[in-house]
Amino acid sequence: MGQKKIFASAILLVALMVAFPAVGLLAGESSTDTMDLSTTESSVLEVYGKLPLLFIENQGQVDEAVRYYVKASGQTVYFTEENIVFDLVRYDLAEADDTADRLVFSLDFLGANSQPAIEGSGKDGAVVNYFIGNDPENWHANVPTYRELVYRDIYPNIDLRLYGGGGMLRYDFVVNPGATPEAIALAYSGIDSLAIMDDELVIGTAFGDIVQSPPYIYQQIGDEVVEVGGGFRLGRDNTYGFHVTAYNNQYPLIIDPVLLDYSTYLGGTYDDGGNGIVVDSDNHAYVTGMTWSSTGTLPITPDAFQPAYAGNGDAFATKLSPAGDALVYSTYLGGSDDDDKAYGIAVDSNNHAYVSGWTCSGDFPTTDGAFMTSPGGVSYPDTWDAFASKIVAPCDLTTDSTAGGSVTDPGEGTFTYEKGTVVDLVATTDAGYQFVEWTGDVGTIADVNAATTTITMNGDYSITADFEEISSVQYDLSINSTEGGSVTTPGEGTFNYTVGIVVDLVATPDAGYRFVEWTGEVDTIADVNAAATNVTMNSGYSITASFMGVEAGGVGIKADDWIKLNYTFTGWPAGQTYPEWLKFEFLSVEGTIATVRFTQRISDGTEQSDTAPVDVVSGIEVPGLAGIVISANLTTGDSVYIAGYGNVTIEGEATKTYAGANRTVVYASFSQNETQVTYYWDKLTGVMVEVSSTSPGFTATAKATETNMWEATEAITVRMPWWPWIIVAVVAVGLVIFFLRRRRAA
CATH of the domain at 482: 3.10.20
pTM equals 0.42
| In a shared domain, residues 374 and 432 | no
Q: Which of 159-173, 651-665, 675-689 has the lowest mean pLDDT?
A: 159-173
In one letter, which amino acid is 345? I
pLDDT band with cut points at 50, 70 and 90 for residue 728 = very low
Judge contact between 435 and 451, C-beta under 8 A. yes
- Dump pLDDT digits (tens) for 103-120: 899 999 999 999 999 999
Residue 521, pLDDT score: 95
Evaluate if residue 479 carries a pLDDT over 80: yes
Q: Is residue 347 part of a domain?
A: yes
Which is more confidently placed, 338 or 236? 236
**230, 264, 298 - which closes a domain:** 264
Residues 635 and 685 in one domain: yes
Q: Which residues contact 495 (CB under 8 A, 6 or more apart)?
A: 476, 477, 479, 503
Q: Is residue 130 part of a domain?
A: no
Using DSSP bridges, classify how beta strands 340-347 and 158-165 pair: parallel, antiparallel or unpaired.
unpaired
Do 652 and 633 belong together in one domain?
Answer: yes
Looking at the fold, whether 574 and 513 belong to one and the same domain comes out as no
Same domain? 180 vs 64: yes
Average pLDDT across the chain, whole number: 78
pLDDT confidence of 298, banded at 50, 70, 90?
very low
Q: Are 284 and 244 within one domain?
A: no
Dump the DSSP string for 620-671: -B-TT-TTSB--TT--TT-EEEETTTEEEE--EEEEEEETTEEEEEEEEEEE
Where are the strands (E) in 474-561, listed by range?
A: 474-481, 485-489, 493-498, 502-509, 513-520, 532-536, 541-549
Q: Does 61 lie in the same domain as 19?
A: no
User: Both 601 and 462 in a single domain?
Assistant: no
Residue 139 lies in a domain: no
For residue 137, give the 3-state DSSP assignment. helix
CA separation (Å) from 439 to 456, 461, 467, 688? 15, 11, 11, 64
Segment among 169-173, 190-194, 512-516, 523-527 with least mean pLDDT: 512-516
Q: Are residues 345 and 361 in the same domain?
A: yes
Res. 95 pLDDT band, cuts 50 70 90: low
pLDDT at 491 over 50: yes
Task: Among 525, 549, 573, identify where a domain stops.
Answer: 549
- CATH code, 707: 2.40.360
Residue 419, in any domain of the structure: yes
pLDDT of residue 360: 79
The predicted-structure confidence for 172-218, as pLDDT tens digits, reads as follows 999 999 999 999 999 999 999 999 999 999 999 998 888 888 999 99
The domain in which residue 324 lies consists of 7-53+269-392
Q: If you average pLDDT over residues 89-107, what whole number do you get?
A: 71
528 lies in the same domain as 623:
no
Q: CB burial class (10 A; 0-12, 13-18, 19+) of residue 724?
A: exposed
| Position 743 pLDDT exceeds 60 | no
Checking if the pLDDT of 252 tops 70, the result is: yes
Residue 22 pLDDT grade (very low, low, confident, very high; cuts 50, 70, 90): very low
Per the structure, the count of domains in the chain is 5
Does 640 fall in a domain?
yes
Contact 403, 411 (CB under 8 A): no
Please indicate, yes or no, whether residues 45 and 69 belong to a single structural domain of this protein: no
Residue 137, in any domain of the structure: no
Boundary (domain end) residue, out of 226, 241, 264: 264
| 571 plus 698 within the same structural domain | yes
Position 331 in a domain: yes
> What element of type H or E holds 440?
strand 433-440
Give pLDDT, residue 334.
74
pLDDT at residue 271 greater than cutoff 80: no
Q: Which of 299-308, 377-386, 457-466, 533-542 has the lowest mean pLDDT?
A: 299-308
Using DSSP's 3-state secondary structure scheme, residue 235 falls into coil
Closest listed residue to residue 63, CA positions, set 40, 75, 81, 46: 81
Most confident of 122-131, 138-147, 479-488: 479-488
Examine residue 554 and state whether it is found in any structural domain, yes or no: no
